[in-house]
Amino acid sequence: MRAGRVAALCCMGLALSARADKARVPRPALPAVKYAFHETHEHERVTIAAEPGDTVETQPNTRLDYSHHGLLTMRVIITNDSDEALNLDEARILFIAADNTVVQAATDDELQRRMFAMKSVQGTKIPLPAPLPSITIHHPPVDKQILRDDDDFGFKSTTVAPHTTASGYLYYDVKELDEPVLEKATLEVRRVKTASGKTLDSFEIALKPSDKDARK
């Protein structure tokens, strides 16, 4: 009977772990021109949009709560209506606050440092009736959750094929900026190139806060 209880607890732990590891799917991206904040370069036939995650509706269903730690979630949508692929390998996507403070998109390491002072490696101990020893369920390291969020919600490729739309979520450390951080802010996208090596003109997308009633 005790052995059955141990087996049941182990199975429960495995089931919870499997469910936690399940891939998450972001909302399908619309053409960039459909978003409120966008800029179109007609001569280059490219539109780039920004969707700040400052409302419940625009927040992605990530494993971790980035906004709680002073990180602004930003979805970037790129629609390539040209006949040539775009290359994002050297692209720079910068958040520029009203006071001209420039914030670069956070790397996975920077997200780790912002969100967690230390990792919990001890796990959770579950006591069992004597003489059985307690069992320990080890929690997934937080950096793996960040990587999984990036896999599910980041850009799938640095190439945007002709006549397609690509999107991904980025995170900006805005904890030290004055509120509201989106007021008179800009998302600037630089160094997007065509497959043949031509650099597109920079995109400067004006932002503003969402309506107060729509916020969390």
Give the pTM. Answer: 0.78
In the chain, the domains with their CATH numbers are 29-121+137-214 (2.60.40.1230)
pLDDT of residue 127: 66
* For the chain, counts of helices (H) and of strands (E): 3, 13
Q: How far is CA 206 from CA 30, 32, 41, 95, 172, in A?
A: 19, 14, 15, 10, 16
Query: Could you give the 3-state DSSP secondary structure of residue 205?
Result: strand
Helix (H, G, I), strand (E, B) or coil at 75: strand
DSSP state of 35: S
Question: Tens digit of pLDDT for each residue in 157-211?
Answer: 999 999 999 999 999 999 999 999 999 999 999 999 999 999 999 999 999 998 6
Tell me the per-residue pLDDT of 40-53, one tens digit each, with 9 for 90 and over.
999 999 999 999 99
